Structure 1
Amino acid sequence: MLQINSVHRCFHQIGAIFLGVSIGWIGILTVPGQAKTLPKSLRSSSVGETGIDALRLHLPPYNLTGKKIAIGQVEIGRPGQFGIDKAVAQNRSMALTRVFYRDTRARTNSNVDSHAQNVASIMISAAKMARGVAPGARLYSSASGTPRRYGQPEECLSAQYVALQNGGDIRAINFSFGESLRFDPRAKPQLDGNALLTQCVDWSARVHNVLYVIAGNQGKGGISIPTDNFNGVNVAFTARVQELFARVDFANLGDPTSSATKGLESNVGPRRAIALVAPGHDVSLVNPNGSITTSSGTSFAAPHVTGTIALLQEYGDTAIRRSLRDRSSSWTLDARRSEVMKAVLLNAADKLKDSGNGLLLGMSRTIADKNNRTWLDSDAYRDSKIPLHAQMGTGQLNAFRAYQQFSAGQWTPEAAIPAIGWDYRTVGSNSVSTPAPIYQDYILEKRLQKGSFVSVTLIWNRLVELVDKDQNGEYSLGEEFRDRGLNNLDLYLMRAEDTDTRKAIHSSISAVDSTEHIFNKIPATGRYKIRVQFKHQANEPAQPYALAWWTVPTR
């Protein structure tokens, strides 16, 4: 990455110059969902079937474009808004809802930035040749305009202001920027979760119920803060292999297992940084003037995830309204929880291509790391204490599979659960002050097929509190945060009749992560259950969590 105004961005940008080439001018997109087919250029794009397969959701019978769903963006600059900024006077393909400068209205023709425009285009562009993931979503964008060297307080203020828009109903906020550890004011700064901006992200995620999507660090000395967050989703990027986005790009993180970079390019200790990968190499972008270019970087992987959240949340809101109207389903406001979104996205990620028999959960492709190794070659597959692959997290974002995972609905442990689903619930410690059970058992309704894979993801939040000096309930410049720590939860796959976790078939028992993930084979056809257990109390005696599962029942 290269330094720009003391804040490091993706390696592709020097000033306002991009390593892309303008390849034409955009047009205006017809209403998504009306077309029966997609042109080949879109199908082969990062948003299409060679990438995250989101465009399928724009078409009937799904008709999902992110309509009425509010998402956010924070960067050093901002995209231009038609009618406000001259830079976008000829570009009507991106309908931003509102733009800001920190926590005030944006000034006309000020802080408009090509990088921010490119990132926003992946989320909401309606251009015919560069359609965004969620062209119907409402995007609120703030330019933090941070000063030289240290801008975390202003960036936190900007993030909070965006999170409070749309009546406080912002479902996700995209960070395609970051801060360098070199300019962090702490005495010995490390990626230990304690930088102000990192704590701000974890605090806001919990308080404002918003999922922060963070561009993962690239190279050495790059935008490492706030990639040490717990409650967001850090995204690395993939490049094409035989037309499919399927391999982690070499320009991503340096070796996260190297002792020389521990705490500098990767988190202190064994906690992994990357949660997902998404397409980011030579992806199509829209410039402020409406021309289309291509460029690469984690900056452009992250908005694929943010846009996908808008698609899923549009579906979720429809399901909630339907449930309230005719009581035909049990969809509740739990579907809007940021932890649920994170669990769904991670659990539905592609790892290994299914041969067509369904035993690999219908996954569309095999994802390889920089050394051409797959998930099965990783320590995350072998070691129950390591839930995430160092380079790819749980795998590559697949928007359509995420839709399948989410649309399967919420199921409680009070009755047998189907093969696919999710839940939002609470477990508690042994403390007498909480009625929450120390564990929750989810017994699968049908027997699972021998040799099939099971994917289960457990998500919960670190507890960060605001030290609110002025007692106004909001972060103000000069205020700080307090880390209350991370309660430790564990995840087990057990035979239905077993009660002792020492007999578990598979487990994910990291002592340092806020994510647990199981992806393993079923050893024998039979009845199984999933257990979520409160292991160790660090703060409150009750811990909310989100759980997503995907299994293969016997034929």
Structure 2
Amino acid sequence: MRRQVLRQPALSQHLLRPLTWVAGGFSTIALSTIALSATAGTNDFLQSSSVGAAGIDALRLHAPPYNLIGRKIAIGQVEIGRPGQFGVDKAVTQNQAVPLTRVFFRDAPARINTNVDSHAQHVASIMIGAVKGLRGVAPGARLYSSAAGTPKRYGQPEECLSAQYIAEQNGGDVRAINFSFGEALRQDPRPNPLLDGNALLTQCIDWSTRIHNVLYVVAGNQGKGGISIPTDNFNGINVAFTTRLEGIFRKLDFANLGDASGSGAAIAGIETNVGARRAIGLVAPGNDVSLVALNGNLTTSSGTSFAAPHVTATVALLQEYGDRQLRVSCKQPGCSLPWTLDARRAQVMKAVLLNSADKIQDAGDGLALGMSRTILDKNNRSWVESDAYRDRSLPLNTQMGVGQLNAFRAYQQFSAGQYSPETTVPAIGWDYRTVGVTVQGEGMKAKNVEAEAPLFQDYVLEKPLQKGSYVSATLVWHRLVELVDKNNNGEFDLEESFRDRGLNTLTLYLMRADDNDIKQSLWSSISDVDSVQHLFHPVPSTGRYKIRVQFHRQVNNPIQPYALAWWTVPTR
């Protein structure tokens, strides 16, 4: 069977001519046929776009005083095809609307006029589009794109090879890679394949995240008819998509796949992830979003394919800011808090993006952390009406993960800086550190690794928290996947495979500052199947609090690195 790509049916056949096409809940409209009203200026149109205030609010970061457009930050794209590059492909000879840095075919330079694909062009335009009146999220970023092609057999090895090659570009300094495509589970060559994290491409992503220090952002299609591999990854972020409600992107689109709640029809491991682990980490605008076609015209389309690049490119904005801070912090040998090279870690980016997501609209008093809107699922329920809010073992909402991407709030979360648990910490911040467990060697006495990494880390907030305010905290770490490197060259080669060494379990607690027993915690996130813990909980009374990260269960190494982001409201 032919591999499926996340695109609208028949879109590629009719992309270059004006159309209005509606089927299956999707709508595709060529904007080149629509004139803006005389009273609506370009700026108004931009603000109402998925990149503007109605969407992820990234345009605010483009303007002073922030001036963030992703300058010098490398991001990547892997798909079956690739976008067109000016000067290389005839399809884009008349425009430079999507200024790519390099294009490839798998692990080699792209062939002229070959593998150029409208879907890949659309996705790239969301990230770095430079059309007047329609800017991408990070128009100053360096985008490297690879076409994996369509091999006669299943394509996961070639797709892994392409991802690895992109991760090695820019001197090995690529901060995020976008996957707006996937493999159908029925094409996986394993006997009785399941969404258990062990498809070759899924393992490849989790391996590459750790080895190349790059955050993979994956279009989150699961369910019957979905493109489910590699959405069962642990170390990346899977993205679902929202549609406008009263002009604002804030409601889960009915076309999202992978929500089995209430239907009872999904078969665990085939239409959803094995066990209790949920797939979606974030949502982002994806219905009727503005895109740039190969000929430079504007068009619109819908799907998770177009939600994911909003997240990928936001990483470029944050990393431009981080590198700006590092140039100051690292003038002397070594770097000092609050800005160290940990700011470039994939785990930190993941924690920051998740923890800053919108859930419920703030009433104007700051108690809901200044969130800009309430995100609703398909049944018009908010995050705080879901089981993820009530159940400590469920860090993610089945439809919306932790909420919707907000680029400006992500900037606020990230710009607060890194803080160590060795001292009290401010109301907002992040950290990268390790926890460890006692190890027992064969024929040896138990050895405590606490000198290198304690069993838990306590982040004591320096100021009392306001009663009725929310605490948001997100903990992320990596599943350990290793390459079975037959030729010992340190790289994945076709016909090679990976070894899953499993997932250590870390847990997250909100506690009173003076308490030390986790049984006294006010709230916690204690999933034993996820590589993410997330809590969003109101403060019961004004007072001093702390956030604890604890090593709960060892499966592989006795020392586990992690990233933590937190956002609280100090008393007035």
TM range (shorter): over 0.9
Deviation at 1:320, TM superposition (A): 0.7
Aligned sequence identity (%): 69
Separation in structure 2 between the aligned mates of residue 250 and residue 525 of structure 1, nearest angstrom: 40
Give 3-state SS (helix, strand or coil) of 2:438's partner.
coil
1:60 counterpart = 2:77: no
Q: Does 1:278 align with 2:295?
A: no
Instruction: Give the TM-score normalised by structure 2.
Output: 0.93
The answer to whether the aligner puts 1:292 opposite 2:298 as a matched pair is yes
Let me know the Cα RMSD of the aligned residues.
1.6
**Is the counterpart of residue 399 in structure 1 residue 407 in structure 2?**
yes
SS in 1 for 2:351: helix
2:145 maps to what in 1?
Answer: 141
2:94 alignment partner in structure 1 = 90
1:69 aligned to which of 65, 69, 73 = 73
102, 123, 131: which one aligns with 2:127: 123
Q: Secondary structure at the match of 1:548?
A: strand
Equivalent pair of 2:205/2:235 in contact (CA under 8 Å): yes
Counterparts of 1:83 and 1:362, CA distance in 2:
45
The answer to whether the Cα contact below 8 Å between 1:8 and 1:180 also exists between their aligned partners in 2 is: no
Shift of 1:319: 0.6
Of 414, 424, 440, which aligns to 2:457? 440
Task: Please state if 1:42 is matched with 2:46.
Answer: yes
- Give the aligned partner of residue 571 of structure 2: 554
Q: What is the rounded CA distance, in whole Å, between the counterparts of 1:254 and 1:111 in structure 2?
A: 30
Distance 1:13 1:369, change over 3 A: farther
Is residue 509 of structure 2 the alignment partner of residue 492 of structure 1? yes
Change (3 A) 1:203 1:16: farther
Q: How does 1:13-412 map to 2 (within 5 A)?
A: 15-17=12-14, 20-24=28-32, 39-148=43-152, 150-217=154-221, 220-257=224-261, 258=264, 260-325=266-331, 330-412=338-420
- Gaps of at least 5 residues in structure 2 are 16-20, 22-27, 35-40, 440-446
2: CA distance, partners of 1:265 / 1:319:
44
Q: CA deviation at 1:481?
A: 0.1
Change (3 A) 1:421 1:38: farther
Give 3-state SS (helix, strand or coil) of 2:519's partner.
helix
CA distance in 1 between partners of 2:13 and 2:106 (Å) = 21
The CA distance in 2 between the partners of 1:12 and 1:130, in whole Å, is 25
The alpha-carbon deviation at position 148 of structure 1 amounts to 4.3
Tell me the residue number matched to 1:532.
Answer: 549
Determine whether 1:453 maps to 2:452.
no
Provide the residue aligned with 1:515 in structure 2: 532
Provide Cα deviations, 1:319-354, integer angstroms capped at 9, x if missing partner: 111112377853110000000000000000000000
1:147, CA displacement in angstroms? 1.8
- Is this contact kept in 1: 2:421–2:458, CA < 8 A? yes
Moved more, 261-270 or 431-440: 431-440
- Among 3, 7, 11, the alignment partner of 1:6 is 3
- Per-residue deviation, 1:93: 1.8
Q: 1:6 to 1:82 in 2, by over 3 A?
A: same
**What CA deviation, in whole Å up to 9, does each residue of 1:159-192 have, x standing for no partner?**
0000000000000000000000011000010100
Does the 8 A contact of 2:266 with 2:272 survive in 1?
A: no
Q: 1:399, 1:119 → 2: CA distance?
A: 18
Sort the Cα spacing of 1:13 and 1:261 in 2 relative to 1 into closer, same or farther, 3 A.
farther
Q: What is the aligned partner in structure 1 of residue 24 from structure 2?
A: none
Residue number among 477, 487, 496 corresponding to 1:479 in the alignment: 496
Q: Deviations over 1:214-257 (max 9, x none)?
A: 00005522210000000000000000000000000000024334
Kindly provide the CA deviation profile for residues 35-68 of structure 1, in whole angstroms up to 9, marking residues without a partner as x. xx97100000000000000000000000000000
Q: Deviations over 1:480-526 (max 9, x none)?
A: 00000000000000000000000000100000000000001001110
- Deviates further, 177-186 or 17-26: 17-26
Instruction: Say if 2:6 and 2:303, in contact at 8 Å, map to a contact too.
Output: no
Question: CA separation in 1, counterparts of 2:33 and 2:325?
Answer: 38
Q: Deviations over 1:413-471 (max 9, x none)?
A: 01000000000000001222632100000000000011101100000000000000011
Could you tell me how far apart the structure 2 residues matched to 1:552 and 1:23 are? 43
Q: 1: CA distance between counterparts of 2:412 and 2:545?
A: 22
* One-letter amino acid of the counterpart of residue 311, structure 1: L
Per-residue deviation, 1:262? 1.8
Equivalent position amino acid for 2:436 in 1? G
The alignment partner of 1:9 has SS state of coil
Paired with 2:409 and 2:403, the residues of 1 have a C-alpha distance of 12
Runs of at least 5 residues in structure 1 that lack an aligned partner in the other structure: 27-36
